[in-house]
Amino acid sequence: MKILICEDEEIMLTALEFRLQKQGFDIVRAEDGQIAIDKIRTEDPDLIIADIMMPHVTGLELIKFVREDLQKDTPVIVISALELDEVVLEASKLGANDFIAKPFRPMELILRIRRIFQELEPLEPTS
């Protein structure tokens, strides 16, 4: 599974990339929202992890781009140091699948990613 990580803090981006690669995920990096848009177009990720506060294009604008402009239902997990209810609500309205507040434990993010991928898998036919 290919995951796009959109994070402007280099240390956080590198840490997430390392942890998720150890879990067997193929990682695509984006240091800002505009790069993320370009990567979404060229890489077609299976899941997007997006920080809310990014240069050029915010995480909320990124969700809007994916849902409205591209008409894609690619799962999106929003991460943010902002725990404002309005931001979480807006992300949800725009189509985010999950929200996680910084700081967070990497295993919490991994569990949320696995849950989303399990929900996407088709049910096995019963005999």
For the chain, the structural domain boundaries read 2-118
- Starting at the edge strand found earlier in the chain, the sheet holding 2-6 runs 26-30, 2-6, 47-51, 76-80, 98-101
CATH superfamily label, 2-118:
Response regulator (3.40.50.2300)
Helix (H, G, I), strand (E, B) or coil at 109: helix
pTM: 0.90
User: What confidence tier does 20 reach under pLDDT thresholds 50, 70, 90?
Assistant: very high
pLDDT band at 87 (very low <50, low <70, confident <90, very high): confident
pLDDT tens across 50-65, in order?
999 898 999 999 999 9
Query: In the prediction, which pLDDT does 122 show?
Result: 62
The residue with tokens 């984006």 is 30
